[in-house]
Every structure is written in C-alpha cells, then in structure tokens.
C-alpha cells in the first residue's frame, strides 16, 4: 500500500523538487476525501427518497430542511481555517470535521422520522464539511513542492470525484439489494465515513512538513503561529496580490450560474427520457475526473492564471451552447464536456493559484477566505439568475449571465497577478508587502 511511505515522503517533500511525484500526504488526503465522498454522496442521493417515501414527509419539508443550513457552511469555513492556523492543528481541525460528518449519519439513523433530529443531523454534516475544507486544502499545499501544486490539487480533486461518482451508485445498489432499507444506507455510509477518519488519523501528518517552512516545529513555532493567527485571517486581505486573487474568484463566482440550472435547461431543450436526468452530473464528474490531473500539470508548467481563466471560458461556452440553436447529442456532450473542463480548470487550480500568495502559517485562513468569497458570490449569482429567469424568461436570463461572465473574465484577467506559476515561498513573503 502506497500510504505506508507517507512520512518518509512527507519529510522529503519540503526540500526536494519532486516534479515526478505527488507526495504521500496528498495521496493520503485524496484517499480520505474519496472514502468520505462515497459516504456523503450515498446519503445525498437517497435523502429525498427517504424523506418522501421512507418517512412519508412532504417534499416541501424536504426543501426547507435541505436549504436551511447552506449559508452556515461558508461562515464555518472561515472559522475552521482560522483555528487551524492559530493552533497549527490542520489535521486535528480537519479530522474533527470529518468525524462530525461521519457521526451525522448515525444521527439520521437515530432521528427516525423526527424532523428536528434530521435537521440537526444535516446541520452537523454541513458543519463538518465547512470546518474541514480549508485545513485540508492547506495541508495539501503545505505538503507539495510549490512548483507541483497544480498537480497535487488535481490528484486530490480527481480522487475526491471518484468518491462522488461511486457514492450514488453504491447507495442505489444498496437500496436495490435491500428493497429500500434506508437505514442500511446510513449504516454503510457511517462505516465509510469512519474509515475516512481512520485513514486521516493514521496516514496524514499533523502539520506543516519541515522546520524551514514554519518558524519552528516545536512549542515556539506554535506560539508564533498563534500570534500570526491572532492578527486575524481577514488581515490577509491587506496583501495586494492575495486581495486580487480573492477579488477575481469572487467576481467570477458572481457570474457562475449553478449547475442545477444548466442541467434543467439542458433537460428542457433536449426533452430526453427524464429518468436519466440524475445521471447528468455524473457525466460532468467523469470529465472532471479525467482532466483534473492533466490540467493541474499544465497549470504548473505554464502558470495557473491561464487555466483558471480558460476554465471560466469553458463555462461561457456552455452558456453559449445553451443559447444557440444547437440540439441533440452535440448540445448534451458539449455542455457536459464544458462543465467538466470548467471544474477541472478552476476548482483545484484556484487553490494552487492562491497558495503561493499566503504564508504557510496563515495558509488555511487564506484558503478559507478565497473559498468563502467564491461560495458567497455564487449564492448571490444563483439567486440573481433565479430572479432574472422569473422576471424576463430563461433566454434573457442566460444571455445576461453570459454577458456578466464575459465581463467577469475580462475583469479577472486584469486582476490576477501575472507572476510565474510556481512562486517560491520567498515570493510569498515578498508579496506580503501591503499595498
């Protein structure tokens, strides 16, 4: 098992330029995410069924509970990043997030038909997801050579997506075998979730890998980190380059129409057998999975700015395809392909893009700020698009979105710093000068 070599590779990663390999901690975190995503996507896939048929609750109640805690994730993410940096406990914070999500499956099992209990379980799951994301991404960046960040995130996201693909399949297969025993889905999901936590505990190193990166590995280092954290995660926004990356991500996020809208438009345009509708996201995920690593490598070689902008251009292409009178297979394949490219070129790449601009002792906070900014602006975009659709109809709304995205891409191109792809840690220090 490759994971056995974790520690050896981890300590080597800091000093050696290992262009040829992805480090052990990154693979370990990828494995954790894969297993965890199986666990969470299993539940997500059956939750509506469980609600309406298993419990006999109304769809309206499901919508209410499901939407309740979406905003929470964004705020909790900042907190997770801040705490991780402050205590130098990336692993502990991420681990508690994974554990909380795993335990939430037992909550679902125990809640029975009580909506309050189900609500609490869903909240715990979202809380866990919010807390763990930034420390995990910080760990990936801290355990990868700066010139291979794109690929490291590509590998992680690819593994993550494998889990997301397998989860629903596993859940539907379980329902098939047990004739709709939802409790079996929750129990199996819990087992996967707990296994993910164990993988993390056993194979992911605790903090930044080498003494030369952080001020010190021991108690002194922790104190220094605490001081750094105390200066507030948001103080990062005073750094010009970081602020620009954040601005670009938020700007683009504000022009990103949610996938659900695009799938719905696709389904309306094509009018294909509706039972295949749930499989559309799987098509996107497959493209994402295949392209995440190659695009990450490209980003490492030629700079991360290009792929990030090109990814959004792919999203623009998806809008355009839906606006043009193309139809049939071309439209379906084109849109799914474009969405897959969009994710492959933007999700992990953004983290690789921002990492060099944040000092290691504030990496988790920095990533949390970028992710939160992007997530919040996407929420605004979705609400805005929904409103535009209601007011002016779908064609006009989509045309507006396309225009907004074009403007956002131009704005982001101007904002994103042109410095090389693999700014060394020294460059990160230099960029700390306040504007």
Partner 1 sequence: MNAFPHVSPKLRVLAVSVAAAVLATVAVTYTVRAAHDAQPTAATSAFALDRGHLYFRSTEAGAGRVARLPLTGAGRRTTDGPSCERFHASGGTGLCLLRRPGIPPKAYAVVLDGRLREKRRIALPGIPNRARVSASGRMLSWTMFTTGDSYAGGGASFSTRTSLLDTRTGYLIKNMEEIPLTLGGRRYHSPDVNYWGVTFARDDNRFYATVSTRGKTYLVRGDLRKWTAETLRENAECPSLSPDGTRLAFKKRVRGGTKDPWRLYVLDLRTMRERPLAEDRSVDDQAAWRDDGTLAYALPGRDGRKSDIWTVPADGSGRPELLVPGGSSPAVVR
Minimum CB–partner distance for residue 84 and partner 1 (Å): 11
As to burial, measured by CB atoms within 10 angstroms (0-12 exposed, 13-18 middle, 19+ buried), residue 220 is: exposed
Choosing from 11, 180, 226, 297, the residue that interacts with partner 1 (CB under 8 A) is: 180
**Helix, strand, coil fractions of the chain, as percent rounded to 5:** 85, 0, 15
Quote the longest CA-to-CA distance of the chain. 64
**207 part of the interface to partner 1, by CB under 8 A:** yes
Name the residue among 152, 126, 82, 127 with its Cα closest to residue 364: 82
Q: How far is the CB of 127 from partner 1 (least distance, A)?
A: 15
Task: Examine residue 396 and tell whether it contacts partner 1 (CB under 8 A).
Answer: no
According to the binding rule CB under 8 A, does residue 403 interact with partner 1? no
Give me the least distance between CB of 238 and partner 1, in Å please.
29
Q: Is 435 in the site for partner 1 (CB under 8 A)?
A: no
* CB 339 to partner 1: min, Å: 14
Contact between 374 and partner 1 (CB under 8 A)? no
103 binds partner 1 (CB under 8 A): no
Q: Which residue has the tokens 């399949």?
A: 169
113 counts as binding partner 1 under rule CB under 8 A? yes
- In angstroms, rounded to a whole number, what is the distance separating the alpha carbons of residues 374 and 370? 6
Q: Does 178 bind partner 1 (CB under 8 A)?
A: yes
State how far the Cα of 407 lies from the Cα of 312, in Å rounded to an integer: 11
Among 62, 82, 98, 357, binds partner 1 (CB under 8 A): 62
- Helices 305-323 and 280-302, packing angle to 10 deg: 150
Residue with tokens 């995130």: 153
- Only one of the segments 78-86, 255-263, 309-317, 368-376 lies at the binding site for partner 1 (rule: CB under 8 A); that segment is 255-263
Distance between CA atoms of residues 320 and 338, nearest Å: 11
Binds partner 1 (CB under 8 A): choice among 15, 17, 19, 58 = 58
Work out how close the CB of 64 gets to partner 1 at its nearest, in angstroms, rounded to a whole number: 6
**What span, in angstroms and rounded, lies between the C-alpha atoms of 36 and 164?**
9
- Is 228 a binding residue for partner 1 by CB under 8 A? The answer is no
98 near partner 1 (CB under 8 A): no
């Amino acid at each position: 098992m490759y994971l056995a070599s974790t520690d050896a590779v981890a300590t080597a990663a800091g000093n050696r330029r290992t262009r040829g390999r992805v480090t052990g901690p990154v693979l370990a975190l990828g494995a954790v995410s894969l297993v965890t995503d199986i666990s969470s996507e299993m539940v997500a896939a059956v939750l509506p069924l469980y609600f309406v048929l298993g419990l006999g609750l109304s769809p309206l109640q499901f919508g209410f509970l499901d939407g309740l805690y979406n905003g929470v994730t964004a705020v909790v993410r900042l907190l997770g990043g801040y705490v991780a940096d402050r205590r130098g406990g990336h692993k502990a914070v991420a681990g508690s997030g994974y554990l909380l999500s795993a335990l939430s499956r037992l909550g679902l099992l125990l809640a029975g038909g009580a909506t309050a209990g189900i609500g609490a379980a869903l909240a715990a799951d979202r809380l866990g997801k919010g807390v763990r994301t930034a420390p995990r991404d910080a760990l990936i960046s801290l355990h990868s050579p700066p010139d291979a960040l794109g690929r490291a995130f590509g590998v992680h996201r690819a593994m993550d997506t494998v889990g997301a693909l397998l989860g629903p399949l596993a859940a539907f297969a379980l329902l098939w075998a047990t004739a709709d025993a939802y409790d079996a889905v929750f129990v199996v999901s819990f087992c996967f979730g707990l296994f993910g936590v164990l993988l993390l505990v056993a194979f992911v190193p605790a903090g930044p890998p080498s003494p030369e990166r952080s001020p010190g590995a021991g108690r002194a280092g922790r104190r220094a980190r605490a001081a750094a954290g105390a200066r507030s995660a948001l103080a990062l926004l005073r750094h010009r380059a970081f602020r620009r990356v954040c601005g670009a991500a938020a700007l683009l996020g504000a022009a990103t129409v949610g996938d659900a809208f695009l799938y719905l438009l696709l389904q309306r345009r094509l009018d294909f057998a509706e039972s295949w509708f749930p499989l559309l996201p799987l098509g996107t995920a497959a493209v994402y999975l295949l392209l995440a690593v190659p695009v990450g490598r490209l980003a490492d070689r030629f700079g991360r700015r290009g792929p990030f902008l090109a990814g959004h251009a792919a999203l623009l292409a998806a809008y355009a395809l839906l606006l043009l009178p193309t139809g049939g297979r071309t439209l379906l394949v084109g849109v799914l392909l474009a969405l897959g490219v969009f994710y492959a070129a933007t999700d992990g790449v953004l983290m690789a893009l921002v990492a060099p601009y944040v000092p290691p002792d504030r990496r988790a906070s920095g990533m949390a700020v970028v992710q939160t900014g992007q997530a919040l602006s996407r929420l605004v975009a979705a609400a805005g698009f929904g409103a535009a659709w209601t007011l002016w109809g779908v064609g006009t709304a989509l045309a507006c979105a396309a225009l907004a995205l074009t403007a956002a891409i131009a704005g982001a191109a101007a904002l994103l710093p042109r410095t090389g792809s693999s700014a060394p840690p020294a460059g990160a220090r230099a960029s700390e000068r306040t504007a």
